[in-house]
Chains A and B, each alone.
Chain A
Amino acid sequence: MSLLLQDVTKSYREPGGRVLPVLSIEKYELVQGEQAVLVGSSGGGKTTLLNIISGILLPDSGKVVIDGRNIVEMPEAIRDRYRAIRIGIVFQTFNLLPAFTALENVLLGMSFSGRKVDRPFAENLLQRVGLAHRLNHSPSKMSVGEQQRVAVARALANKPVLLLADEPTANVDSDNQSLILNLIRDTCRENNVTLLMVTHSPEVAGAFSRVDRLRDFNRVVAGRKQEVSK
């Protein structure tokens, strides 16, 4: 099992003190190498769910098991390191660091893993996403599609077991959309990486054989504030 969420709940406290429930998931799982797309309405908790899976946020309760280990129980520093090594993240807005070149952005992901930085592997990744000629270019000098390809290469830099992609094609044109989508899916398939992609796009969702609707397994009704019944 690559990813398992069990009895996961998450709520936020509003400024007035009221508790706003966002997630209540009894069980959600993905097997190693599986590719799934997650769809749901805006504000439904998709990004919160990705943050919990990646260990950026902690759930109020429940287990988040990645590659056999419950990251909720880990001390923060260990969880950070675990995220660096086991989980790759592709953001909607790419989130490349502007001070670094394409290659350095990929190396940066490696350098936080605690492992030795593998420069040839980073170069190879960029080559595989078609950016061999753009290694030393800064993100500001690259097109939107190229930036997202760098982001994909960075997410795969530490050979993760799980790749989380948060609407990775939302900001690119249709040509780049299919290119990036195929790139992510193909590289995940080649490396047996489990993929969970969040999207609003029916086109993107249609490309996946497994489409999960958040409302189908989240007991909190999206967009409505209500108390969680414990």
Chain B
Amino acid sequence: MNLFTIAWKSVRQRRLASGLTALSIALGVMLMVLVLVISGAVEQAFGQRSIGYQLLVGPKGSDLQLVLSAVYRIQPPIENLPYMYYEQLKKDRRVQVAVPLAFGDVTEVGGFPIVGTTAEYFEHPYAPERKFRMRGKQIVQLFDAIVGAEVARFNNWDVGSQFSIKHGGADSEDVHDEKFTVVAVLEATGTANDRTVFLNLEGFYAIEGHEKPIDEAEKRLRDFYASEPDVLDNAIAQLEEYRRHQAESASAPEDHAHEHEKTPVAMKEVTAILVRTRSDFDAINLQSDLKKGFQAMAVNPIAPINRLMTNVLGNVQKALVVLTGMIILVSGISIFVSIYNSMSDRKKEIGIMRALGAQRTSVFAIVLAESAVLCFGGGVIGWLLGHGIAVVASPTVSMKTGLLLNPWAVNPWEFVLFPVMLILAVLVGFLPGMTAYKTNVADALQS
């Protein structure tokens, strides 16, 4: 019978007190693990520190929200830009590449964000010197889709799989009728592209319900192009034409009523535009020009995230780790109090063991082992609880925040956790251990 067995028996004998003290440690460790899992997810989500484009153009508003929605895909978009604006931007002499993005929907299964774009998106590097690699073919047909590696893995999709999408966010119940077909699966990129489903932009427009009412579109265009009458006239002319066609369709015989009416350019919108300029100077110049206007803004796609991570999230993470560390410390103190308080009750027990021949160092070690059993046992339970809760909460967290939790990913700090638990055990067990060490056997046997 070794010292750990003896310690374990003693822990079991005081099972309520032992259970509660181990639970306090477990809860502390569980919180720490959850913080680390979430930190890992945040790190992974915002791990992309470079992008293959100099600018991200979107409607006026928060630069952070634009980046979070367009690059990291974890926030709803701000507003949309007219597709005509994208065409104008593409013609700007400073612009080398402009890739339109339209988003706002999610997959019915898994709640992964949907991005409507063009084949160009996959032809250009997503980060400096990092090109997309995919298994399958490019988007050609209206309802073709390319899915990120994580989407394919999570939903068990492959080329040929068909799926539906939901209008709006993950909470929406409004499932579109259109069925999309996976034509390619991207290799993992370590970016938000891994958990994104890409649709043909034209297919995105063809989805029923994605088209704004004509009056609303007209109002938006009139506001947007108030200072560009030529462009506005062209747009309004397109809308008038479309309005007339719509009216004719409505009054046409039944068999002609459902013929597909191609959406005019003026009715189309994009949510953001990725822009690569001919030079860095052009990027600064373009950004400055857009800043002066009131139509759109151009932001550095990464700077707002770096700012967020450095100034806010990084510090919040550190604060949470320190806080949970303090919770564990407080739990350690509760173990100390529990063991220390039990020492007076156990004086006779220690006296008996000493009378049976146990050395002072043995009873000291038994008390330390008890402390280790509680700290380490509590730590293991807490670790399992933390990861277990992460497993259970992962789908909900992913749906609500867009963060992809990897519940069983072990943060390197978790390897430090267990040696720390043992050190804590030694610290909290030391004084009670010394009390056992100094026990006067004759007195203890009389007690």
Contact = CB atoms under 8 A, between A and B. Distances in A.
B445 A95 contact: yes
Nearest to A48: B442
Given A91-B445, A95-B348, A95-B445, A154 B357 contact: no
Interface in A51-88: 51, 54, 56-57, 76-77, 80-81, 83-85
Contact of A108 (B1, B12, B13, B441): B1
B285 interface: no
Contacts of A89: 355-356
B354 A95 contact: no
Interface stretch (B75-83, B169-177, B358-366, B398-406): B358-366
A30 to B, nearest CB: 20
Interface string A111-128: 111000100000000000
A199 B441 CA distance: 21
Contact of B357 (A47, A97, A107, A113): A113
B220 interface: no
A107 B352 contact: no
A80 B354 contact: yes
A109 B357 contact: yes
B362 A112 contact: yes
Interface string B227-269: 0000000000000000000000000000000000000000000
Interface stretch (A13-21, A98-106, A169-177, A218-226): A98-106
Given A97-B352, A107-B1, A112 B358 contact: yes
Contacts of B357: 80-81, 83-85, 109, 112-113, 158
A108 B6 contact: yes
A76 B362 CA distance: 13
Contacts of B417: none
Contacts of B6: 108, 111
A89 B13 CA distance: 24
A57 B2 CA distance: 26
A76 B349 contact: no
Given A98-B13, A99-B9, A56 B356 contact: no
Nearest to A92: B445
A76 B360 contact: yes
B295 interface: no
Contacts of A48: 442
Instruction: Among B2, B442, B446, find the residue whose CB has the most chain A CB atoms closer than 10 A.
Output: B442
Contact of A80 (B349, B352, B358, B446): B358
B215 to A, nearest CB: 81
A91 B445 CA distance: 9
A154 B353 CA distance: 12
Instruction: Give chain A's interface secondary structure class.
Output: helix
A84 B355 CA distance: 8
B118 interface: no
Interface residues of A, number: 31
B44 interface: no
A107 B5 CA distance: 12
A68 to B, nearest CB: 19
B317 interface: no
B394 interface: no
A99 B441 contact: no
A54 B355 contact: yes
A189 to B, nearest CB: 23
Most-contacted residue by chain B among A83, A89, A111 (CB, 10 A): A111
Nearest to B1: A111
Contacts of A91: 352, 355, 445
A56 B1 contact: no
Contact of A104 (B1, B349, B360): B1
B442 A81 contact: no
Contacts of B2: 111
Contacts of A154: 356
A112 B356 contact: yes
Nearest to A155: B356
Contacts of A97: 9, 349, 352-353
Contacts of A117: 1
B10 interface: yes
A113 B1 CA distance: 11
Contact of B353 (A47, A85, A108, A110): A108
B2 to A, nearest CB: 7
Given A56-B442, A99-B9, A117-B1, A108 B354 contact: no
A83 B13 CA distance: 27
Contacts of B358: 80, 84, 112
A47 B9 CA distance: 30
Contacts of A113: 357
Nearest to A104: B1
A81 B361 CA distance: 12
Given A57-B442, A91-B445, A84 B9 contact: no
A86 B345 CA distance: 29
A31 to B, nearest CB: 24
User: Lowest 7 CB-CB distances: which A-B pairs, in order?
Assistant: A84-B357, A99-B13, A112-B357, A111-B1, A99-B9, A112-B358, A95-B352
Given A98-B13, A99-B9, 9 more contacts: A51-B441, A56-B442, A77-B360, A80-B358, A81-B359, A83-B357, A91-B352, A95-B355, A108-B356
7 contacts: A80-B360, A84-B356, A91-B355, A97-B9, A100-B9, A108-B1, A108-B6
